[in-house]
Structure 1
Amino acid sequence: MTHHGHLLSINYRALVTQYLEEDVPSFDYGGFVVGEDEQEALLYCKAEGVLAGVPFFDEVFRQLDCKVEWHNQEGEWIKPEGGKQVIARVTGKARNILLGERTALNIICRCSGIALRARKVHELQKEKGFTGVIAATRKTTPGFRLVEKYGVLVGGLDTHRMDLSSMVMLKDNHIWSSGSITKAVKQARSVCGFALKIEVECQSEEEADEAIAAGADIVMLDNFSGAGLQSAAKSIKQRWAEKGVKHFLIESSGGITYETCASYFCKDIDVLSMSTITQGVPHVDFSLKITKRH
């Protein structure tokens, strides 16, 4: 059986090492106090969430010679009854459990919060019958992007581009700096080759037409209202279909939230991107409690 953890390359292990080094840069004073006794700790989920970040959590404790036994599967929508629910059991030396506690919790609390937000948007998408793609953006926390984008995937949405090397996106500043949409697209194509798509941010139908004519693969209609977007997208698609041109996708972006996204759903929109999937997302409350001495 495949799961999202199989997507991760080995680089996530180095990230976890960095996270641990950030939290313990010199001496572990608390670890000195508790020592080497073998202990067991229970991971509690204390609020609604979609469990995400399991490979990162596991790697924290793998590097600290501890074992994790999960009671729930990643991607599970958890709604604790009675205030809290046991999700996993961690065993190992007391100082090692406590050494990894905060780092592991920081990862799973944030990742599960993002997965919950993504899952709610995905459920709304299915309910409304929107067949396009809903994606996150690059508005992520520096150093934590892989964890956050991973949470988006577990929640059921698209990650959009992972970084500046994943796809060429020409935004307003690129256009202004290069002189025109046409010039920017041609310069981008000269270096990115056939393997990468080119997307152009457009503020009007006229700009979208110029981008499509220049060979853009995706046009992003930025900061349109829901009704204005649907009208513009339909107009652009019809105009170019009459010319026999259908190679492009239309994306909408700019200020779209969970509360407003349904007003953007329409058949002429191929991609809807939302920064609120990763920004301003409440964490899910998890805690790790040592239970007994052996």
Structure 2
Amino acid sequence: MMFNGYNESLAESIRQWLREDVGSGDITTATTIPQGHESKAVIHAKEAGVVAGMPAAELVFTLVDPALSFKALVRDGQRVEKGEILAEVEGSTHRILTGERLALNLLQRLSGIATKTRAFVDALEGLPTRLVDTRKTTPGHRMLEKYAVRVGGGANHRFGLYDAVMIKDNHIKGAGGITEAVSRSRSSIPHTMKIEVETESLAQVEEALAAGADIIMLDNMEPDLMAEAVRGIKAKSPHVTTEASGNVTLDTVRTIAATGVDVISVGRLTYSFNSLDISLDLNAKKGGGAS
């Protein structure tokens, strides 16, 4: 199932977003187009990219009017070229225009994330390093944006503060050090949960290893220092996962992966991307009564 079974949650969000946009009604459409007017619309890409969010767009139109016909011509994860038709929508012109903006907003944003993710994945071709996202997502859209990362070929980091322990610099300061932070956390969490520790130096890496961290994040390290850290970790504790993070770009991601890290987390997948240019064009099918 799409979005890992969160379809009802998505439907409720879409209803809320429609209420935000439509309010008491689409006054422009109501005063310009006769009731009963029907059309066939095409959704098409105005630039090349990777599509994500087609089921979400379909759900928008379904919730606006179950009588609308939505025909997807491409699937999520598919590369498309400029001018390619992604879907056709047919039925009430009023209802098509009511759902147009929300459907396009979702398609454009999610396709932009998938397109950017695919570019990073392509840059890592041939290397075993895994690309993951972060929690730097748009409030209320995390489920969708992390889905788009998966569509683009990436993987997801933790979904929230609840599903993994990640001890960062402020936790270390508050707890009085890495050792104390890991010890306190280990004594409170279930045995099935892992502990990740953010480190910025070889000394912190050594402390995190000694404290029993399951995952060690190497934050904003230069490639040579990172490679040294990875070698030391794997020599002493080969089961520990290494993660690189901090200002990762398309220009640097392959160099970072060459240090031997297992995972690279990239926040810009979901906070610094360009929405894919996608449009809906209406082709009048038949008229109705007076407006």
Is the pair's TM-score, using the shorter chain for normalization, greater than 0.5?
A: yes
Residues 66-145 of structure 1 correspond to what in structure 2 (within 5 A)?
66-80=68-82, 84-126=83-125, 129-145=126-142
Distance in 2 of aligned mates of 1:236 and 1:16: 46
Q: How many residues align?
A: 281
Match of 2:45 in 1: 45
Deviations 1:140-184 (A, max 9, x none): 111222221111000000111111112111110111111111121
The answer to whether the aligner puts 1:252 opposite 2:251 as a matched pair is no
Matched, 1:179 2:184: no
TM-score for the superposition, normalised by structure 1? 0.90
Counterpart Cα distance in 2 of 1:44 and 1:191: 52
| CA deviation string 1:21-50 (max 9, x = no partner) | 221233321242233422211101110110
User: What is the DSSP-based 3-state SS (H/G/I as helix, E as strand, rest coil) of the residue aligned with 1:191?
Assistant: coil
Instruction: Give the letter aligned to residue 98 of structure 1.
Output: L
Q: 1:164 to 1:119 in 2, by over 3 A?
A: same
Separation in 2, partners of 1:234, 1:21? 54
Alpha-carbon RMSD across the aligned residues, in angstroms, is: 1.6
Give the distance between the partners of 1:273 and 1:21, measured in 2 at CA.
35
Question: What stretches of structure 1 of length at least 5 have no aligned partner?
Answer: none
Q: Contact conserved, 2:230 with 2:259, CA < 8 A, in 1?
A: no
Q: Which runs of 5+ in 2 are unaligned?
A: 287-291
SS at match of 1:157: coil
Normalised by the length of structure 2, the TM-score is 0.91
Compared CA separation, residues 97 and 229, structure 1 to 2 (3 A): same
Q: Distance in 1 between matches of 2:219 and 2:97?
A: 46
1:268 and 2:251 correspond = no
Q: Which amino acid aligns with 1:41?
A: A
Shift of residue 11, structure 1, vs aligned partner: 1.4
CA contact (8 A) 1:114 1:148 kept: yes
Q: In structure 1, what is the equivalent of residue 143 of structure 2? A: 146
Structure 1 window deviating more from structure 2 (48-57 vs 224-233): it is 224-233
Call closer, same or farther: CA 1:226–1:267 in 2, change over 3 Å. closer
In structure 1, C-alpha distance between the alignment counterparts of 2:122 and 2:2, rounded to whole Å: 22
Per the alignment, residue 12 of structure 2 pairs with: 14
Q: Which residue of 1 aligns with 2:166?
A: 169
Report the 3-state secondary structure (helix = DSSP H, G, I; strand = E; otherwise coil) of the residue aligned with 2:188: helix
Task: Indicate if the aligned counterparts of 1:227 and 1:264 stay in contact, CA closer than 8 A.
Answer: no
Cα distance in 2 for partners of 1:8, 1:205 equals: 42
Letter in 2 for 1:27: G
8 Å contact from structure 1 (residues 41, 90) kept in 2: yes
Contact 2:182–2:213 at 8 Å: present in 1 too?
A: yes
